[in-house]
Amino acid sequence: MAKLKACRDCHYLTNETQCPNCKSTSLSTSYTGIVVILPGRSPKDDPRKTSYIAERLNIDKPGKYALKVR
């Protein structure tokens, strides 16, 4: 698995130089923990409604996220 970078703003994990989630270029290779938020039954479902982790990390889109970004 290629080393992913974590967005410092929304914690989204990506291979690119810009976060595809929030368009931030503030990415970090130093993070701990990976969280995968799965899509709900409807793509419009807000994961924060059904997932405690999504709620705590304030994730509103399914995808891979870092638990902690340094």
Give residues in contact with Zn ion (CB under 5 A). Answer: 7, 9-10, 12, 19, 21-22, 24
Q: Which of 21, 59 has the CB closer to Zn ion?
A: 21
Minimal distance, residue 18 CB to Zn ion, in Å: 9
* CA dihedral (30, 22, 41, 49) positive or negative: positive
Beta strands in the chain (DSSP E): 5-7, 13-14, 27-28, 31-37, 63-69
**Residue among 17 and 42 whose Cβ is closer to Zn ion:** 17
Give least dist CB 41 to Zn ion, A. 25
Beta carbon of residue 51, minimum distance to Zn ion (angstroms, whole number): 18
Q: In angstroms, rounded to a whole number, what is the distance separating the alpha carbons of residues 53 and 46? A: 12
